[in-house]
Amino acid sequence: MSGQNRNLREEIKEKLNNNIMQTALSRFADQYPEARRKAYANVDDIEVLRDDLRDMKRKTVDNIEQIANEFESSVKSRGGQVYRATDGDDLKQHLLQICRENNVHRIVKSKSMATEEIHLNKYLQQHDLHVRETDLGEWMLSVAGQSPSHMVMPAIHLDRKQCAEFFTQALNEEIPSDIPFMIQTARRVLREEFLQADMGISGANFGIAENGAIGLVTNEGNARIVTTLPRIHVVIMGYEKLIPKIEDASKILRLLPRNGTCQRMTSYMTMIDGPTPVIYKKGEEWIEEDRKLYIILLDNGRLKAAHDPKLKEVYQCVRCASCLNVCPIWTLVGGHVYGHIYSGGIGAILTGLLNSMDDFSKFSDLCIGCRKCESICPGKIPIPDLIDELRSRAIQEKGLRLPEKAVFQNVLSNRKVFHTLLRIASVAQKPVQSGNFIRHLPLFFAGMTKDRSLPALAAEPFRDRTTRLFKKNPKAPVIRAAFFSGCNLDFVFPDTSESVVKVLQNLGVEVIFPEGQNCCGKPVLGMGDRATGCKIAKKNIEVFEAAKVDVIISACPTCTETLHKTYVELFQNDPAWLARAQAMAAKVREFTSFVADEYKKAGRLVPTKKKALRTITYHDSCHMKRGLGIFEQPRALINATTGYKFTEMKNCDKCCGMAGAFGIKYSDISLPLLEEKISNIKNTGADTVAVACPACMMQLRGGLDQQAPNIQVKHIADILAENLPH
Amino acid sequence: MKKVCQNWATEAFDDNLVNGSYWEAFEQNAKNASAEIIHAEDLSSAQAAIADLIVTLKAKSIIATGDEASPELASVYKGIETMGTPIYTNKFAIAEHAPTADLGISTAEFCVGETGSVCVDAYSYEARVVGMLPPTHIIILNKNHTVKNVTTAFQVISRVFKRGYMGFITGPSRTADIERVLSLGVHGPSRFFIIAVDKMENRRVQ
């Protein structure tokens, strides 16, 4: 699947049309959050457990060589053997040698992602060894010649009929699609494999340096049999599985089963420390001896990652795959689209580190940065940030594609050119515009307007309205604020910007609009072009320093996050600009949270008692909720507003599918996300949807315009402004 | 029989960590994991419970461990054998009969309240096959040996785990690999019984 000639768009289309997979994944995505919540119901504080795991793993990676040495000497002192393989080829050759030395012919395997990573089975089969996967899902897939689409549920993309076909094919007998029958058949067939095997190969969920034990977590029990019946046991594990102490295993075990399979513990948790007895029949006689134990530590890029200040965070991964379970994109396209072995967000990162950056680049932009994964990851890995980091490195190495380079470096980084082009576009779009939406675009943009209208650029951008608006600034202001509009609120939704100004002025705030402000830089940074991003950031910092204000207000969560967090990260190695970026970041406030604070101080943040005429629901923007942690304030503001009855929608914080440029580049994926969002909105019966993000507003208005034109989408600023005296 | 620790009660337990107070949480979680729990006042009522199960399960051949460490348990097994069902306790006999036995019986060291897991010391080969190959597995344990959660379980384990094979069993073998439908007994046992004995001879001296 990692071939050079992949047509990702075609693959995605095929997956979106695969009804069996779509049904399976959407049902799972629906059930997972509640099942996970139940598994954690008897835990006092999940965050404490997550912090413990992260901290333990961080400490380990910082001393990885020392821990690996300790692990190796613990295993050796107990009579096991340890081999450190630099890569897949090295590992395969060494393993083959072990097989030859021990006269091995038949091998049973329990799940080991590391062996998938290096395509071990194929190699062993080429060398005339009989190899059987024994995890039911892995076994079915190996029969079918497929690879796992999920680390924990490898065959989730299949239904029982397809499974029965694989059974039939493998066993050469007709197997009906009856699940219990299939399970019993697998038990019978694989039991023979276990009993005849000379060697068992397992992975490891952890390896303990203190005593040299490895730990395995399974439900079927195949790992327990693989490590019990054959007279030789080979463990193949990555360095990231090492932990210092026996007690550290509990830090993994309290989270991994709960996040991975929504269980408090899997059926079997097995720890093996050194060679253990095995009894088998040699000739006519039963004998007992110590099983030979070989542990192979696989590097394959891991040790380099361990010394990388950013990427070492992948060591915090325990392979629970819950990042996939909550990923809106994985839920639509499944795991195979991600090409290599590890799928989803963490898969993109692991592929880049362990396979190749070329493979990473092919699908790295399938991450929309919604941060759902980060919010539940047991090891608290900032997955979207690591993807950004890798993207930016890929760009540094290979450069941008030409059209993007031209746009980023010549247009976006130069405000005057960019804004001139936007103004020209606002006139040029006239022939296709209808009302406030572009309903028909030239043919090559057709995918963008299917089931969704795109907004027209406003005839009069916000920056041309400021003179008129700022005449109403308070005479004796309590606060002086600069408004950072961002591109959308300046050129697409200037009316919302007017609402922002009105609400702030009503609070006694003097609002100014520094004319030299440019795009926040997110589109450029999101594509990995840090050089242009820095250029844009410096310009904005200069402009806002000169404005001499108390606060900088943005009504776009993405811009807020970029100004508040990203600029500071950009200048980590540039002390002078770092100080300036920090000074700016300290002043940046997201609009709704600022207003909610001010309303509270003024006693205005109280639920209204007046009769509601309209029903309203609220859509959480990804960047707002998980990037900035703001989700209570917008709701409090709505509840304090006259005329609306608030109601929550299902999956209120699931991405609407816009996600910056993603929605346009991958419109095939963006649209199903939008459709789900719209159906959740419709099901509330609300006639208004509140948002606090202009990008979400663009996506939802576009979708509702075509599919439910009676439902209005309003920015919180517009809702608040309506309530103020004219 | 080889064990990670020959006497967990004296070498690994202390009253603060291991006592009977987490039984209820354990029982609930174990049941949720499809374990079937039978209460027994002492080992002789455990023997009666096992005898009932042999009849219900129509077991023709049994493999069992734990008799070496406990003469009382050895006499339970003898008692069962006199009822007419062969019960193999010698390690080579266990190995030979494991693929065809209908029932495996072994012991556990302690229970984990948070998860419904039982901690098994399975250093010996025979202790492992007894629990994995037959379609039904019975665990006999002392219900006064419970710990609060996985963290405390590992505090206990870390005191004695120097080498060997051990772990947790939480309910029967299961899979959800086909359409995420839960199915029991894919590779290991489909039924997992816990006989919880209140008065057991190796109970720690308080």
Q: What is the pLDDT of residue A391?
A: 84
Chain B positions touching A219 (Cβ under 8 A) are 173-176
- Kindly report the pTM of this predicted structure: 0.88
pLDDT average, residue stretch A676-683: 95
3 state SS for A40-75: CCCCCCHHHHHHHHHHHHHHHHHCHHHHHHHHHHHH
- State pLDDT tens for residues A172-196: 989 999 999 999 999 999 999 999 9
Domains of chain A, first to last: 415-595 (no CATH), 596-722 (3.40.50)
- State pLDDT tens for residues A448-478: 555 666 667 788 999 999 999 999 999 999 9
Domain B8-199 homologous superfamily, CATH = NagB/RpiA/CoA transferase-like (3.40.50.10420)
Q: Say if residues A296 and A241 touch (Cβ distance below 8 Å).
A: no
- Non-local CB neighbours of A166 within 8 Å, separated by 6+ positions: A140, A141, A143, A144
* Residue A408 CA from chain centroid, whole number: 25
Per DSSP, what are the bridge partners of residue B110? B119
Least confident span in A136-150, A626-640, B76-90: A136-150
Q: How far apart are CA A554 and CA A462, in angstroms?
A: 14
Q: What is the CA radius of gyration of chain B?
A: 16
Chain A positions touching B171 (Cβ under 8 A) are 267
Tokens of A165: 């076909």
Mutation for testing the A interface, residue in B91, B178, B184, B191 having most A CBs under 10 Å: B178
**Of B115, B158, B169, which is closest to A268 when you measure between CB atoms?**
B169
Instruction: State chain A's mean pLDDT as an integer.
Output: 90
Q: Which amino acid is at B48?
A: A
- Exposed, middle or buried, B11 (CB in 10 Å: 0-12/13-18/19+)? exposed
Q: How far apart are CA A702 and CA A709, in angstroms?
A: 9
pLDDT average, residue stretch B54-82: 95
pLDDT tier, A343 (very low <50, low <70, confident <90, very high otherwise): confident
pLDDT average, residue stretch A499-507: 97
Least confident span in A8-17, A218-227, A416-425, B187-196: A416-425
Q: How far apart are CA A236 and CA A241, in angstroms?
A: 11
Chain A to chain B Cβ contacts (< 8 Å): 186
- Using the predicted structure, report yes or no on whether residue A429 has a pLDDT greater than 80: no
CB contact (8 A) between residue B164 and residue A28: no
Q: Which amino acid is at A211?
A: N
Alpha-helical (H) ranges within A247-343 are: 248-253, 256-261, 302-306, 322-325, 330-333
Q: What is the pLDDT of residue A148?
A: 85
Calculate what percentage of chain B has a pLDDT beyond 90: 93
Q: How far apart are CA A340 and CA A347, in angstroms?
A: 8
- Non-local CB neighbours of A528 within 8 Å, separated by 6+ positions: A388, A391, A392, A393, A394, A395, A396, A400
Sheet containing A479-484: order of strands: A509-512, A479-484, A551-554, A588-590
Q: What is the pLDDT of residue A435?
A: 58
Q: What is the pLDDT of residue A707?
A: 83
- Exposed, middle or buried, A495 (CB in 10 Å: 0-12/13-18/19+)? middle
- State pLDDT tens for residues A101-135: 999 999 999 989 899 889 999 999 999 999 999 99
Q: What is the DSSP letter of B19?
A: B
Q: How far apart are CA A286 and CA B176, in angstroms?
A: 36
Mutation for testing the A interface, residue in B106, B175, B180, B192 having most A CBs under 10 Å: B175
Residue with tokens 């990851």: A377
- Which of A301, A326, A311 minimizes the C-alpha distance to A376? A326
First to last CA, chain B: 27
CB contact (8 A) between residue B162 and residue A225: no
Q: What is the pLDDT of residue A690?
A: 97
Domain boundaries, given as residue ranges, for chain B: 8-199
Residue with tokens 């943005």: A554
Calculate what percentage of chain A has a pLDDT beyond 70: 91
Alpha-helical (H) ranges within B58-141 are: 71-82, 91-97, 125-132
Residue A55's alpha-carbon distances to A50, A254, A597, A633, in angstroms, are 9, 15, 34, 31
User: What chain A residue is nearest to B192 in terms of C-alpha separation?
Assistant: A267
Q: What is the CA radius of gyration of chain A?
A: 29
- State pLDDT tens for residues A300-312: 999 999 999 989 9
Residue with tokens 């000639």: A5
Tokens of A152: 């924990």
Q: How far apart are CA B122 and CA B66, in angstroms?
A: 11
Angle between the A494-506 and A591-601 helix axes, to the nearest 10 degrees?
A: 20
- Using the predicted structure, report yes or no on whether residue A406 has a pLDDT greater than 80: no
